[in-house]
Structure 1
């Protein structure tokens, strides 16, 4: 069986999109193909929710709109996939807000450490005019649009060789972080050595000792099988993370208003399922991971929080915009 490379697949997608313009209208009407990528493994609720949304859209349109899903980073790194959506080679991607900060700097604030008091605070803010303002900037600057928001979970640390009881234990600790400046700044505030890596490289890096530990929500730690290569689960709860469903705005604009409404409704329904599933998993996963062999540590939370809040909001104020942190805190 011939296997396509990521480059060949994306090139083929672009060629098909161009060829469809020359097809007779009758053939074009047979199916509108939307390609939706995600870096998470198929065992995680995020790509599972994409499959659910795709099935609903296919059923309600009689197959006229075909959403094809590509989980597990099949189409490249987080940066690759976002750039592919910006260029139009890919239709949609589900990705963290901080990753999108490379395109619209203000967006990274909604995945900043210690910003959200709880998931309800995050949800309230992302249903406010704030998200409309950020979305407007994303459309104008990079031709992408947010059409869905999901709850990804509360992020915690893991460590391979030593327990982490306070921020003092982070000195010199090689911490894998996403390739995002706010995450690097957080690690540096803790005294750690930030090591940016794409998520698809994480398991191998941990197993080989290239990094000492990482940070992610519990469902991600579980679905990526990180308990196999990490001994300690450290419940720091340092970031409450939303993920955004992003679409190429030109492709989105080609859909009729009725079709856009239908697709968005399917994404909202699937996202609600995902959010509930993530919360359910979070409620029992610390205990479950402990039973599977990890040692669960409840650290001194204030020792982690204090150095980050003392430096990070001021450091990124020029990137996010003056007063935006305080405005979100007040919501």
Structure 2
């Protein structure tokens, strides 16, 4: 066994002490850094809630766990960010359930059009054993885990040049949709021309007329300033969307059970704030967007609903699993 002389021990201790003084407190505590991405701009409640959760975790751990947030698609497209979490290059992302269908097909049903009766129905389902089953498949197949659920809002259409009063007006309409198969199928059922685009490209595409319109919840339309490049707000209410907070399973497993509970609690607290904020915004945004210059249209809702329900559930039954749609409807 190698023995240190007293002089060597003193010199080594002095060096360590000097280094300790020089290093920031967070580094001395060997902070665990978790990187959390989101495609939404900082004007939207979603990345704002991530900042709130991060601050709570940092405060309660004395900086020992440092959650760094990256809004506005800084770390890539929706698909890029989800794939980065799967590979471990990124720790966490907040993303729509349909985007995760590329990894676990059943998950995309959570964001299917006309599935949810209302936000309460969605919340009830996502607190049921259903989410545990879907989560188990996500962990086993792709090494990711759902650790939070946020209410994103009710999705509506916007149009740049013409009013949309019924589904008949959608024929040939170039509709921007997320890069997701269920959204494309919905647009096709309406007779529209689905144009998949990443969200970060949407404003420019609308301003240049590359697409005729898009669909998103009111707070997203507001935060992304889409009223500047869209004339008509069409209240179709075709999808009630949850967004999921996904974490890399290997990174999550490295945290102690107590730390995982603390992070979850902070995410849940921030999610409650976000849910309330989204609902508050939704309650007044249609009127507000109307006052800002958009023309608000209340279309024939059944004309939109009927062709989608006539085709989409059957088309995706093999992907989602037989009987899953009916099981969710019954909750």
8 Å Cα contact 1:6-1:76 kept in structure 2: no
**Cα distance, 1:113 vs structure 2:** 0.1
Q: Cα gap change, 1:266/1:26 in structure 2, threshold over 3 Å: closer, same or farther?
A: closer
Deviations 1:202-233, CA, capped at 9 Å, x for gaps: 00000000000000000000000000000000
8 Å Cα contact 2:94-2:244 kept in structure 1: yes
Q: TM-score, normalised by structure 1?
A: 0.92
8 Å Cα contact 2:175-2:212 kept in structure 1: yes
Q: Cα gap change, 1:210/1:260 in structure 2, threshold over 3 Å: closer, same or farther?
A: same
**Cα distance, 1:138 vs structure 2:** 0.2
**Cα distance, 1:200 vs structure 2:** 0.2
In the other structure, the counterpart of 1:150 is 150
Q: How many equivalent pairs are there? A: 331
**Cα distance, 1:30 vs structure 2:** 2.1
**Cα distance, 1:153 vs structure 2:** 0.1
SS of residue in 2 equivalent to 1:99: helix
**Cα distance, 1:236 vs structure 2:** 0.1
Structure of greater Rg:
2
**Cα distance, 1:169 vs structure 2:** 0.1
**Cα distance, 1:27 vs structure 2:** 5.9
**Cα distance, 1:307 vs structure 2:** 0.1
Q: Cα gap change, 1:276/1:2 in structure 2, threshold over 3 Å: closer, same or farther?
A: farther
Q: Cα gap change, 1:83/1:3 in structure 2, threshold over 3 Å: closer, same or farther?
A: farther
* Structure 1 runs, 4 residues or longer, greater than 4 Å off: 1-29
Q: Cα gap change, 1:37/1:24 in structure 2, threshold over 3 Å: closer, same or farther?
A: closer
Deviations 1:80-119, CA, capped at 9 Å, x for gaps: 0000000000000000000000000000000000000000
Q: Cα gap change, 1:251/1:84 in structure 2, threshold over 3 Å: closer, same or farther?
A: same
8 Å Cα contact 2:233-2:297 kept in structure 1: yes
SS of residue in 2 equivalent to 1:40: coil
User: Could you tell which deviates more after superposition, 18-27 or 262-271?
Assistant: 18-27
8 Å Cα contact 1:13-1:89 kept in structure 2: no
Measure, in 2, the Cα distance between the counterparts of 1:87 and 1:313: 31
SS of residue in 2 equivalent to 1:74: coil
Q: Cα gap change, 1:53/1:19 in structure 2, threshold over 3 Å: closer, same or farther?
A: farther
Q: Cα gap change, 1:178/1:161 in structure 2, threshold over 3 Å: closer, same or farther?
A: same
Q: Cα gap change, 1:25/1:120 in structure 2, threshold over 3 Å: closer, same or farther?
A: same
> Do structure 1's residue 11 and structure 2's residue 32 form an aligned pair?
no
> Do structure 1's residue 106 and structure 2's residue 109 form an aligned pair?
no
8 Å Cα contact 1:11-1:89 kept in structure 2: no
Deviations 1:144-185, CA, capped at 9 Å, x for gaps: 000000000000000000000000000000000000000000
Deviations 1:297-321, CA, capped at 9 Å, x for gaps: 0000000000000000000000000
Q: Cα gap change, 1:258/1:210 in structure 2, threshold over 3 Å: closer, same or farther?
A: same
**Cα distance, 1:4 vs structure 2:** 44
Measure, in 1, the Cα distance between the counterparts of 2:112 and 2:48: 26
Q: Cα gap change, 1:54/1:323 in structure 2, threshold over 3 Å: closer, same or farther?
A: same
Measure, in 2, the Cα distance between the counterparts of 1:136 and 1:166: 41
8 Å Cα contact 1:146-1:244 kept in structure 2: yes
Measure, in 2, the Cα distance between the counterparts of 1:145 and 1:14: 45
Q: Cα gap change, 1:246/1:2 in structure 2, threshold over 3 Å: closer, same or farther?
A: farther
> Do structure 1's residue 269 and structure 2's residue 269 form an aligned pair?
yes
In the other structure, the counterpart of 1:164 is 164
Q: Cα gap change, 1:152/1:306 in structure 2, threshold over 3 Å: closer, same or farther?
A: same
**Cα distance, 1:3 vs structure 2:** 48
**Cα distance, 1:17 vs structure 2:** 25
Q: Please provide the CA RMSD for this pair.
A: 9.0
Q: Cα gap change, 1:37/1:21 in structure 2, threshold over 3 Å: closer, same or farther?
A: farther
8 Å Cα contact 1:153-1:278 kept in structure 2: yes
Q: TM-score, normalised by structure 2?
A: 0.92
8 Å Cα contact 2:26-2:64 kept in structure 1: no
Q: Cα gap change, 1:318/1:263 in structure 2, threshold over 3 Å: closer, same or farther?
A: same
